[in-house]
Amino acid sequence: MFTIRDDVRFSETDMMGVVYHPNYLHWMEMGRIDYLKRCGVTLNELMADGILFPITEVSTQYKNSLTLGDSYEVQTTMSGLNKAKMEYTYKIIRLRDGAVAVEGYTRNLFTDTQGKIKRLPDHWFKKINDVYQQEEKKHE
């Protein structure tokens, strides 16, 4: 699991002062990108290699609200990986009291630039899988 922390901005809230629900998906994306960076992989490198990874499934369970100024943590865990897809689970935690604000899940497929499913080349898979396997061992 990797974590990132930030504070809720005014632009992320609605007229009631609570986080507008799609923003949690943005924060999950931030966690996913951070996870890949920690694997030594950037989006620009993948895209330059003709590899895209669109989301094919997403789910969120909203449990507690975040409000303007709240500090939060996005906990990102890779929950599945093969050469055709990667899956992540997320928890977004309100730091002032440790409450879980959102739990989520995403699945990404690897595709070429035309949208056809593409197997991730070995050199990219190894970078991601090495970190994934280390994380899995922590949970055994």
Catalytic residues: 14
Angle at 3 between CA 10 and CA 65, to 5 degrees: 40
Tell me the DSSP string of 57-89.
EEEEEE-S--BTT-EEEEEEEEEEE-SSEEEEE
As a residue count, the chain comes to: 140
Residue 72, strand partner residues:
6, 94
